[in-house]
Amino acid sequence: MTTPLAQTKDASVFGGKAVQLGASLRAGQPVPPGFALSVDEVDAIALGDVSAFDAALSGLMALQAVAVRSSAVGEDGAHASFAGQHDTVLDVRNDESLKQAVCQVRASGQTASAASYRNRLGLLDAPRMAIVVQQLVASDMAGVMFTCNPMDGHDERVIEAAWGLGEIVVAGLVTPDRYRVARSGKILERSAGEKDIAIRSQPAGGTAECAVAPELVSALCLNDDHLMALNALARQCEQHHGPGPHDIEFAFAGGQLFLLQ
């Protein structure tokens, strides 16, 4: 029996990312549904425990296509984001790909790079990897939002976005569009990037880099309504999680905004 994401409250069991997403769901924020695998459940699946895997598989079947995300104990804290250290596996649809994804994400917490990052932060305990499994959002555009400017600390939203799934921005594979929005909602900057490729879901599962139509490469992917929705989401996150600063991964699909992490 897996634990619904909205019920995750213990970061020592489910990791910081799962607990933060659970709190966002309970607050009514637009988080895709999903479930969490505890550290013990992840370890059991990696070691071939059939009952633990069957429980996870039943959760997958209810969601059909999912993103499998790391939620290590100590990850996404105030002093240790682990950004770029742990893997995410997108568009997982069947038992074999789920098992591979769980093992891949777990193993990403044990790499030399992740160990070096932990050592720099003085985190000397062995890595403990829990996992978030969320319904995949087949986004039209996606990206990251900083609730205050990460470069100079100014009280304004900084948003980077591109076409398709947000991994294209996180991985630095394109130059994303950049926006700055004042807390009041005034748009301070719109800067078009060069978004010649997008990561998109494939019919049989998994993702691939796809060419973007020429007319969209330098076209802004977010309009004023998108930016106002993101500013409102930033305010909600500050109300429910504290003043921050917060880094938010988001997606728009069919005009609807989703909070991914």
Span 95-152, pLDDT tens digits: 999 999 999 999 987 766 666 666 666 655 667 899 999 999 999 999 999 999 999 9
Q: How confident is the model at residue 251 (pLDDT cuts 50, 70, 90)?
A: very high
Residue 178 C-beta-side C-alpha neighbours within 13 Å: 9
CATH 3.30.1490.20 domain extents, the chain: 3-135
Sole residue written with tokens 């319904």:
135
Class of domain 141-259: alpha beta
Q: Domain spanning 3-135 has what CATH number?
A: 3.30.1490.20
Q: How confident is the model at residue 61 (pLDDT cuts 50, 70, 90)?
A: confident
User: SS3 for 44-62, per residue?
Assistant: HHHCCCHHHHHHHHHHHHH
- For residue 97, give Cα distances in angstroms to 66, 94, 101, 206: 11, 6, 6, 9
- Host H or E run for residue 248: strand 247-253
Q: Are 72 and 129 in contact (CB under 8 A)?
A: yes
Q: Are 3 and 212 in contact (CB under 8 A)?
A: no
CATH 3.30.470.20 domain extents, the chain: 141-259
Across 32-46, 118-132, 181-195, least confident range: 118-132
